[in-house]
Structure 1
Amino acid sequence: MSSGARRWLAGLALCAGACTPALNWREVRLDGGALALFPCKPEHQTRTLTLVGQPVALTLHACEATGLRFAVAQADVQDPARVEAVLAALAAAQARNLQAPLPPGDAAQVPGMTPNPQARRYALSGRRPDGAAVQAQLLLFARGTQVLQATVLEGAPDTPAVHTFMDALRVPG
Structure 2
Amino acid sequence: MKRLSLGAGLLAGVVGLCAVAACTPALNWREVRLDGGALALFPCKPDHQTRTVALAGQTVALTLHACAAAGLRFAVAQADVLTPERVEPALAALAQAQARNLQATLPAGEPAQVAGMTPNAQARRYALSGLRPDGSAVQAQLLLFARGTQVLQATVLDGTPDTPAVHTFMDALRAPG
Q: Above 0.5 in TM-score?
A: yes
Q: Secondary structure at 2:94's aligned position in 1?
A: helix
Shift of 1:53: 1.3
Residue equivalent to 1:3: none
Q: Which runs of 5+ in 1 are unaligned?
A: 1-11
Shift of 1:121: 0.1
2:67 counterpart of 1:67: no
Shift of 1:172: 1.1
Q: Secondary structure at 1:164's aligned position in 2?
A: helix
Could you give the per-residue CA deviations for residues 106-143 of structure 1, whole angstroms, max 9, x where no partner exists? 00000000000000000000000110000000000000
Distance in 2 of aligned mates of 1:166 and 1:53: 28
Residue equivalent to 2:166: 162
Residue equivalent to 2:5: none
> Size of the alignment, in residue pairs?
162
- Give the structure with higher Rg (CA): 2
2:144 counterpart of 1:116: no
Q: Secondary structure at 1:18's aligned position in 2?
A: coil
Structure 1 stretches of 4+ moved >2 Å? 12-17
What are the within-5 Å matches in structure 2 for residues 20-39 of structure 1? Answer: 20-39=24-43
Give the 3 Å change call, closer, same or farther, for CA 114–15 of structure 1 in structure 2.
farther
The share of aligned pairs that are identical, in percent, is 81
Could you give the per-residue CA deviations for residues 72-116 of structure 1, whole angstroms, max 9, x where no partner exists? 000000010000000000000000000000000000000000000
Distance in 1 of aligned mates of 2:20 and 2:112: 26
Residue equivalent to 2:143: 139
2:55 counterpart of 1:51: yes
Residue equivalent to 2:45: 41
Shift of 1:13: 4.5
What are the within-5 Å matches in structure 2 for residues 83-102 of structure 1? Answer: 83-102=87-106
Distance in 2 of aligned mates of 1:31 and 1:161: 23
